[in-house]
Structure 1
Amino acid sequence: MLKPAERGFFVGYFKKVPADVKALMIGFVVFFITGMASASVFLSLSTESPGAGSYADELHGEHLIGRMEVAPYPILRVPGNGAQPARAIMLGGSGKFGVDDRALPLSGKAVEVGGIFVKRGDLEMLLVGGGDDLKTARVQRSVLPAVSPPQDLGRWRLTGEICDGKCSGGAMKPGKGLAHKACANLCISGGVPPVFVSTAPVDGHIFFLLAAKDGGPMPKGLLDKTSVPVVLEGTIERRDDLLIFKVERFADGVRA
């Protein structure tokens, strides 16, 4: 009569594990470890990178001089100087706030602005510091050349994600996705300019400052659409190197 170990059964009080049981367990362990390692590699490769968004102290305590625009959000229009093309720079503040209160009295005026940039790809926002980092420029308004008028790029239907320009630019990583929804809504509600991150470029850009159809701030109804894939329709205009997406309706036909 065969002993239990010889029949392929494992019994705890026998010291020897049957060969076929041992082979099965070794195979399972190897398969499990290999499978978990492969899954880890696959998930790491398929996970979207937070990107190279970062802070950039380009000004080193100095100031940019330009004209202040406040619609749809505070924008500094910096004239070109031959070597550098004209720029339209979104402005944000410290914490989860914009600079609307400080910018509105300076609308249309020549101003000096200092602070730290956040940058990701073609997205850039200047985070304005306190005190003298936003003030009337010492140069005369007439010294600055006139800003170029907006350029109409037509009507578009785009798929992407609504984010706040500060965190998406690199203040947080990741600065997008569902995990960032509450933070994005707080920033946008506090006056931080919102941006639309498109899955397809328009004129070489995938980041757009969001605005209402009339050129005012982003419609409040879009706060429910942040941090998730969404399809928006509207017109796009160019101001220097900044594209502004004026949203008219959601993909389901509801007007913004």
Structure 2
Amino acid sequence: MSWRQTKSAPFFVGYLNKVPKPLIAFVSVFIVCFVGGLGLAALALSSTQNDPGNGGFQWGNRFEQTGLLELRPYPVFRVPAGGGTPAKTYMLSGQGKRGVFDQAKANIKTAVALRGVPIKRGDLTMIQVGKVEATEGADAAFTPADPVPLGRWKLTGEICDGKCYSGAMRPGRGLAHKACANLCLTGGIPPVFVSSGAVQGRNFFLMADADGNLLGDEINPLLALYIEVEGDVEKLDDLMVFKADLATARVLK
């Protein structure tokens, strides 16, 4: 019987402290492919996520202006036109997940100096109120314009809480944010309808019910869903208000 010597496959023996060259090449290629695959997987997953937007707190641009507080039906701050700047209406929030109903009711239709931090996303701006003080003077005395009716519209989009969607959290929308939005709205943060189609160039609307009153628990089943709903739209200075008839609401997906 004769024996034939054959070339054995590379084999790693730990105590020899030597790795065969073919095995080094294999492991190197595997690591490169594995890391590259993880990168491609991360890219594919991130591409399916909602755009978080560019909103956020404008800490370097503190807000301090004189105007009037109104309930429409959520607290808003009306600022008169001046110096070539048109009149503006700002939605308001308190610290954390709270509204500013107490401050608004205590100073309703009274000239006040309001200080706070803007939260801005595109043409949607909300002011996180820091301090409200009564004030006097000619600059504070003005009569805000009445809302301008824009007719009845059928809009598609999503109901969000105005503070988080403005940029307090990102993306501030979708099912992953539903629980947070529910807490914010329960605390008095104004609801915002984010429409997929614009009305006079605006896609963000302060929401109210069909009669222009506060929305309650009836919006909970519709939060964070893509819906279609009809209602009347009116323009309050530069702010759009959507009086949604939730009886017409329909979930699209």
Q: TM-score range by the shorter chain?
A: 0.7 to 0.9
State how far apart, in whole Å, the 1-side matches of 2:163 and 2:133 are. Answer: 18
Q: Does 1:110 align with 2:108?
A: no
Partners in 2 of 1:58 and 1:82 — Cα distance?
23
Q: How does 1:81-120 map to 2 (within 5 A)?
A: 81-120=82-121
- 1:80 aligned counterpart, secondary structure: coil
Q: Which AA in structure 2 matches 1:112?
A: A
Checking the alignment, whether the CA contact within 8 Å between 2:159 and 2:222 is kept in structure 1 is yes
What does residue 153 of structure 2 align with? 155
Residue 62 of structure 1: which of 64, 79, 89 is its match?
A: 64
Aligned partner of residue 156 in structure 2, secondary structure: strand
In the alignment, is the contact (CA less than 8 A) between 1:153 and 1:238 conserved in 2? no
Greater fraction of residues in strand: 2
Deviation at 1:165, TM superposition (A): 0.9
Identity between Structure 1 and Structure 2 (%): 38
TM superposition shift of 1:98: 0.6
How much has 1:40 moved relative to structure 2? 2.2
TM-score by length of 1: 0.78
**1:202 aligned to which of 196, 199, 214:** 199
Specify the alignment match of 2:249 in structure 1.
250
Q: Structure 2: which 5+ residue stretches go unaligned?
A: 14-19
Distance, in Å, in 1 between the alignment partners of 2:25 and 2:97 is: 59
On the 8 A contact 1:164/1:193 being kept in 2, the answer is yes
2:218 alignment partner AA: G
The residue aligned with 1:192 is 189
TM-score by length of structure 2 reads 0.79
Q: 1:158 to 1:147 in 2, by over 3 A?
A: same
Q: Is the alpha carbon distance of 1:28 and 1:232 closer, same or farther for their aligned partners in structure 2, counting shifts above 3 Å?
A: farther
**d(CA) in 2 for partners of 1:203, 1:92:** 25
- Provide the rounded CA distance (Å) in 2 between the counterparts of 1:203 and 1:58: 30
Do the aligned residues in 2 keep the contact of 1:233 with 1:250 (CA within 8 Å)?
Answer: yes
Write the mapping of 1:1-256 to structure 2, written as runs, cut at 5 A: 32-57=34-59, 60=62, 62-65=64-67, 67-130=68-131, 133-135=132-134, 137-139=135-137, 143-159=141-157, 161-248=158-245, 249-251=248-250
- Number of residue equivalences: 243
Deviation at 1:109, TM superposition (A): 2.9
| CA RMSD after TM alignment | 3.3
Q: Which runs of 5+ in 1 are unaligned?
A: none
Cα distance change of structure 1 residues 182 and 38 upon mapping to structure 2, 3 Å threshold:
same
Counterpart-to-counterpart distance in 2, 1:118 and 1:57: 9
Q: Is the 8 A contact 1:77 1:147 kept in 2?
A: no
AA in 2 matched with 1:41: L
